[in-house]
Homo-oligomer: A and B are copies of this chain.
């Protein structure tokens, strides 16, 4: 079945980088490592590096599997805007839900993304970014006024969802209870004296519960990411008690290698949804297996598409292309084995690529 006429909603991604990139900068955006590659190696020596050379090179007018040097030369020849236009057009994504809360100054704004990608966008508000930008108002405001600040911020940006990175800053093994006012005040005081980013679990939970109050879908980073996480504390079943305590839609992002655990949660809790974005681009040639595994137990009304692309236009194309191919291959096997018919395949594809996001986020694609 052709997926060309699908509505594709990328329910979690970031903006494009503003500038042309040297090789080192490009390589650092093509990896979740935060360090240079190991001596004698390149970040191109990876599944995502292979996928860039295989699938992005032709869009830039090169033969597939172009060497890294030639690829980057061609990229600079075209310029970052033309490269972005070509790769985003090839990605075929209709709507981006953008998390603008990380390195915003380096990235295109939603309005700029709309123009360069010929797409619609909506914003996702990152709880910790709002919390950190509110610090100057003092501990009492953090405790008593953060909910209102968050609501105002969401209203201003017309956000359709929230995002928590408590998995990065603490782990998903957080206390599920809403913290008390006194606890929040003490934690806020300590944080404001110490400075730096928010890592205190009381403050992270306070932000989370203020988010729950807004009733918007709540995205969580889960699993695979940069070396700032401690992976074993990212199993989403660690937050089972929190899931039981709330009724807002929970959107588990990435999830690899805990995508089967995410599928279990999506199967038994009506408000849990998830994707394997990020893992799709970064497993490149192996993305199909990850996608197939994510569909093992989960209702297909609970699985979503995201690219989690950040900075490089290549990552939007790979996220979309590899996801559509992997999903199509999975469903073709299901059909060959007699488990589904063509109408089932079309319906599942439509839901997973966009329909589920439209329903859960209450999006109006013509809005």
**Residues of chain A at the chain B interface (Cβ within 8 Å):** 31-38, 40-41, 43, 45-47, 50-51, 54-55, 64-65, 224, 226-227, 230-232, 235, 237-238, 240-241, 244, 256-257, 260-261, 264-265, 267-271, 279, 282-286, 288-290, 292-293, 295-302, 333-334, 337-341, 343-344, 351, 359
CA gap between A80 and B47 in the complex, in Å: 43
With A and B bound together, what is the CA distance between A168 and B283 in angstroms? 31
In the assembly, what is the distance between CA of A257 and CA of B265, in Å?
Answer: 12
Least CB separation from A227: chain B residue: B268
Query: Given A38-B302, A244-B227, does the pair A33, B270 have CB atoms closer than 8 Å?
Result: yes
CB distance from A297 to the nearest CB of B (A): 6
A134–B45 Cα gap in the complex (Å)?
A: 43
How many copies, total? 3
User: Which residues on the B side are within 8 Å of A237 (C-beta)?
Assistant: 230-232
A170 to chain B, nearest CB (A): 14
List 18 other contacts, CB 8 Å, given A46-B267, A284-B339. A32-B267, A45-B301, A46-B299, A47-B295, A50-B334, A54-B340, A65-B340, A65-B341, A226-B268, A227-B268, A230-B241, A257-B260, A257-B264, A267-B282, A285-B337, A286-B293, A286-B296, A289-B292
User: Which residue of the partner chain, among B54, B224, B227, B240, contacts A297 with CB atoms under 8 Å?
Assistant: B224
Instruction: State the Cβ distance, A210 to closest chain B Cβ, in Å.
Output: 24
Contacts of A232 in B (CB 8 A): 235, 237-238, 240, 261
Distance from A117 Cβ to chain B, minimum over Cβ atoms (Å): 25
Minimum Cβ distance to chain B for residue A326 (Å): 10
Q: Cα distance A105–B35 when bound, in Å? A: 44
Note all chain B residues with C-beta closer than 8 A to A47.
Answer: 295-300
> Which B residues are CB-close (under 8 A) to A45?
299-301, 351
The docked-state distance in angstroms from the alpha carbon of A296 to that of B265 is 24
Set B267, B293, B301: member contacting A289, Cβ < 8 A? B293
Minimum CB–CB distance from A355 to chain B (whole Å) comes to 9
